[in-house]
């Protein structure tokens, strides 16, 4: 039996106080995410339970119980406090997926600071833009990343401390640099948790738009309520689970569900800090007997590309539940996972600004491959007209996804950018910026970003739909579809395609793929041009950056590329 039970029963008379009661939280009292993810689990009698099992690229392993989590986060919090860092000052986490990243996150929150996780692959300029916007007080990093910080230190007088977790104690450090060895640090048994409240700021995540500077999405400690309950009901996290969220905490999934959701539910979480390969991933699942796996469509498609034979080398029978996040999940991937793993990946829809899942598939619910699913209980979501901002009266019409504001994990503002924040709301709705339709049974079907939808001769074409069709062709490994300017039709469909091994781009293959899509969808949806490329531009969290391809086609500015995988 899943945690959510019957979806229809859950949405009746739903109230977020279900989570408040389970977490023993009384509105108006202090609420601190760091405490709920460590101390509270220990107080419930699970201090000796494994909390974090970490594996590095060399196969080295570290294990931490919930009591270890509590004591080590106390050590981090005390160290920051001793440095003179005050509540609500920003502390950046700029590390690979090492234990100090996960535990440091909790320590920052426990001492009242605002955690600012950033991808360790950022270059110095990308780092500077985000640190400068946040006026960050301290950055916790590794020796390997310290040179990037040193390069910009002179431009950041507000950055008082660079804390290096693996600094060589025999070598002197420069001004404003300080060493911190979490394993060797004194671990206070008693640590005074800063009394943060529901609206106290907790996390500052940076997200990049099509143009302009990255925006700092401000979340608060009350976001725990959404993250705890969605983890329990959608990811179906249960006491006995061994959970693997593949996301880096530099991305919101890696914090909402790779730290907060997992630890607040008291489950054992595994982290693999190594490069991607199908063998690596399947070996990791087999070794640790992963039961719940939360990953991304790009990774799933990469596993599909690696083929079904490699799966036969591993025992993956421990897998109980699979979910996906980051991009719409193509129906082919859902069907494939059901075939090879015996269970489908369930798509979940949300974004940095929402802080937790909004529209999603649920354990036990009828799954429609390719659908985003239905709104999480307590979430009022619909599709509205992009001109009147009024909901459509009948199913099937494509419009803007709209969500009624007020759920616990909703962002509270964009940091130092309230004007842009206010533009996200129209007619009483929060607009994520995506288009969808809703079928007669209330299932949402993703169409694309608001500016991604292709209007060809007055007909709307979903890039996602064309990409899904392309992926069914035996030669296609990955695809990205954008609009290309056209004198007659305003826009036509252009596809960028990477090929599977053994296939070579040619005019014959070009025509074959075009006709394949034409037969599958329609002449309007058929790509008028296919460009074969070696790799698609992606963010480090695995999202294909269609806007870069779109901008090149239209001769527009590419905008911020700091989250590009190979930037």
Whose tokens are 């426990």? That residue is 110
> 47 vs 4, which has greater pLDDT?
47
Q: 155-173: string of b/e by CB count within 10 Å (b at 16+)? A: ebeebbbbbbbbbeeeeee
pLDDT interval class at 211 (50, 70, 90)? very low
pLDDT at 225 over 90: yes
So what's the pLDDT on residue 337? 97
pLDDT interval class at 212 (50, 70, 90)? low
Residue 378 CA to its chain's centroid (Å): 21
| Of 103-112, 237-246, 386-395, the least confident | 386-395
Domains of the chain: 7-438 (3.40.50.12780), 451-554 (3.30.300.30)
Reported as a single tens digit per residue, the pLDDT across 122-173 is 888 889 989 999 999 999 999 999 999 999 999 999 999 999 999 987 888 9
**CA pair distance 23, 29, nearest whole angstrom:** 12
Whose tokens are 């963010």? That residue is 539
CA torsion, points 146, 148, 149, 154, in degrees to nearest 10? 130
- Find the mean pLDDT for residues 401-423: 97
pLDDT at 22 over 80: yes
| Of 10-14, 57-61, 87-91, 166-170, the least confident | 166-170
* Structural contact between residues 51 and 66, judged by C-beta atoms closer than 8 angstroms: yes
Closest CA to 428 of 408, 404, 393: 404
* Structural contact between residues 522 and 544, judged by C-beta atoms closer than 8 angstroms: no
Closest CA to 217 of 189, 163, 175, 255: 255
Closest CA to 22 of 7, 5, 40: 40
So what's the pLDDT on residue 567? 47
| Of 17-31, 207-221, 369-383, the least confident | 207-221
Reported as a single tens digit per residue, the pLDDT across 303-324 is 998 999 999 999 999 999 999 9
Reported as a single tens digit per residue, the pLDDT across 471-481 is 999 999 999 99
pLDDT interval class at 566 (50, 70, 90)? low
| Residues whose CB is less than 8 angstroms from the CB of residue 156 and which lie 6 or more positions away in sequence, other chains included | 128, 131, 132, 136
pLDDT interval class at 393 (50, 70, 90)? confident
DSSP string, 275-288: ---HHHHHHHHHHH
**CA pair distance 50, 65, nearest whole angstrom:** 4
State the chain's mean pLDDT as an integer. Answer: 93
- Find the mean pLDDT for residues 57-70: 96
Closest CA to 167 of 187, 154, 181, 147: 181
So what's the pLDDT on residue 469? 86
pTM score of the predicted model: 0.87
DSSP string, 166-179: T--TTSPPPTTEEE
Reported as a single tens digit per residue, the pLDDT across 508-538 is 999 999 999 988 877 888 999 999 999 999 8
pLDDT at 197 over 60: yes
């Amino acid at each position: 039996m899943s945690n959510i039970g019957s979806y229809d029963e859950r949405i009746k008379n739903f109230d977020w106080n279900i989570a408040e009661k389970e977490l023993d939280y009384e509105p108006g009292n202090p609420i601190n995410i760091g405490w709920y993810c460590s101390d509270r689990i220990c107080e419930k009698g699970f201090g000796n339970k494994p909390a974090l099992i970490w594996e590095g690229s060399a196969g080295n392993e570290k294990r931490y119980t919930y009591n270890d989590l509590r004591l080590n986060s106390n050590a981090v919090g005390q160290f920051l406090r001793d440095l003179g860092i005050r509540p609500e000052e920003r502390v950046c986490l700029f590390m690979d997926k090492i234990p100090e990243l996960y535990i440091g996150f909790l320590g920052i929150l426990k001492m009242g600071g605002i955690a600012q996780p950033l991808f360790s692959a950022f270059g110095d300029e990308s780092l500077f833009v985000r640190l400068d916007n946040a006026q960050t007080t301290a950055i916790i990093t590794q020796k390997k990343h310290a040179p990037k910080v040193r390069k910009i230190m002179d431009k950041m007088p507000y950055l008082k401390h660079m804390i290096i977790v693996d600094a060589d104690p025999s070598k002197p450090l420069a001004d404003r640099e300080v060493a911190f060895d979490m394993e060797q640090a004194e671990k206070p048994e008693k640590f005074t948790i800063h009394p943060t409240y529901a609206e106290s700021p907790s996390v500052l995540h940076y997200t990049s738009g099509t143009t302009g500077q990255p925006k700092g999405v401000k979340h608060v400690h009350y976001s725990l309520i959404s993250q705890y309950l969605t983890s329990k009901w959608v990811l179906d996290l249960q006491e006995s689970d061994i959970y693997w969220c593949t996301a880096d905490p530099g991305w919101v999934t890696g914090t909402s569900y790779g730290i907060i959701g997992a630890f607040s539910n008291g489950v054992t979480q595994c982290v693999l800090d190594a490069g991607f390969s199908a063998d690596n991933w399947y070996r990791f699942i087999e070794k640790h007997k992963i039961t719940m796996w939360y990953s991304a469509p790009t990774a799933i498609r990469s596993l599909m590309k690696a083929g079904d034979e490699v799966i036969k080398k591993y025992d993956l029978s421990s897998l109980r539940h699979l979910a996906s996040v980051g991009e719409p999940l193509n129906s082919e991937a859902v069907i494939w996972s059901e075939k090879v793993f015996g269970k489908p990946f369930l798509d979940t829809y949300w974004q940095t600004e929402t802080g937790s899942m909004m529209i999603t598939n649920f354990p036990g619910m009828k799954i429609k491959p390719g659908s985003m699913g239905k709104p999480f209980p307590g979430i009022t979501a619909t599709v509205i007209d992009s001109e009147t901002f009024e909901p459509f009266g009948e199913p099937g019409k494509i419009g803007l996804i709209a969500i009624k504001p007020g759920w616990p994990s909703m962002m509270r503002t964009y940091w130092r950018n309230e004007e842009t924040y206010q533009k996200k709301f129209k007619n009483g709705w929060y607009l994520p910026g995506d288009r969808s339709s809703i079928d007669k049974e209330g299932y949402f079907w993703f169409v694309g970003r608001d500016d991604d939808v292709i209007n060809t001769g007055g007909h709307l074409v979903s890039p996602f739909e064309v990409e899904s069709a392309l992926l069914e062709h035996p030669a296609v490994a990955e695809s990205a579809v954008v609009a290309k300017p056209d004198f007659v039709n305003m826009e036509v469909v252009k596809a960028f395609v990477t090929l599977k091994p053994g296939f070579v781009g040619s005019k014959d293959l070009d025509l074959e793929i075009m006709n394949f899509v034409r037969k599958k969808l329609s002449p309007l949806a058929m790509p008028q041009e296919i460009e074969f490329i070696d790799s698609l531009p992606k963010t480090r969290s695995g999202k294909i950056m269609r806007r870069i391809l779109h901008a090149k086609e239209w001769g527009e500015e590419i905008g911020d590329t700091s989250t590009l995988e190979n930037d």
